[in-house]
Amino acid sequence: MNTRLRTAALVCTAVALAAFVRVAAADDASKSKTTTTTTTTSTTMTPEAKQQAMMAEMMKLGTPGPVHAALKSQVGTWNATVTSWDMGPQPVTSTGTETRQMILGDRYLETHFTGTFMGQPYEGWGITGFDNKTKQLTNVWADNMSTAWMTLQGTVSPDNKMMTCTGSVPGQDGKPMAIHTETKMDSDTQNTYTMFGKMNGKDAKLMEIVYTRNATSATAQAK
């Protein structure tokens, strides 16, 4: 099944690219009819040259950059201390472990979290990526306590040490609640994730996770 899906995806990509090239070539031909011979000779690219330029731009946009390198620096095993305020005024603390790895040619950071929440086993999976064209960060998350995906989008600070995202989750009343998250790379061995929710018109801290790189993972990273 996975092979068929991958094959279908490749076919769709090839068809889309071919269609894009045909449209670009047709547009180029149409423009050439409305210009003088002198202008056409000096400024209009041939269909082949335009295709090569488009392919070069696609390759450039698909190449991992500085933000992807910052994501890659997070690869390893992390110990997590979770403090949650979303169940009432008294914070609830739990612990867990998160493993992080880069996938798809170092373009996306995949995370897998295991621990406990409210005395129950908790497991979550996420993926984070950065679009070189839109300059937008996207994070998706799923866990064993919900069938709903959480999707957040945001930006990265110029030094790639701070990631800020926004989105929404179901509130305690069942209605969508606006949230925003901050991920701070405090050091090579620690980072902090904080989630805020809009409650009664004000931002309230819902969760804070302090991650500390596992000693074994830190040693491997240093090598």
For 74-95, write each residue's pLDDT tens digit. 999 999 999 998 666 789 999 9
- Fill in the DSSP letter of residue 71: H
Q: Which of 184, 183, 150, 182 is nearest to 167 (CA)?
A: 150
Using CA atoms, how far apart are residues 200 and 219, in angstroms rounded to an integer? 46
Six-digit token string for 175: 């209605």
Using CA atoms, how far apart are residues 25 and 125, in angstroms rounded to an integer? 43
- Fill in the DSSP letter of residue 45: P
For 129-146, write each residue's pLDDT tens digit. 999 999 999 999 999 999
Length of the chain: 223
pLDDT in tens, the chain (223 residues): 333 334 334 334 443 444 443 434 444 444 444 444 444 444 688 999 989 899 999 999 999 999 999 999 999 999 999 999 866 678 999 999 999 999 999 999 999 999 998 889 999 999 999 999 999 999 999 999 999 999 999 999 999 999 999 999 988 788 899 999 999 999 999 999 999 999 888 899 999 999 999 987 655 555 5
Q: Which residues pair with 112 in a beta bridge?
A: 99, 125
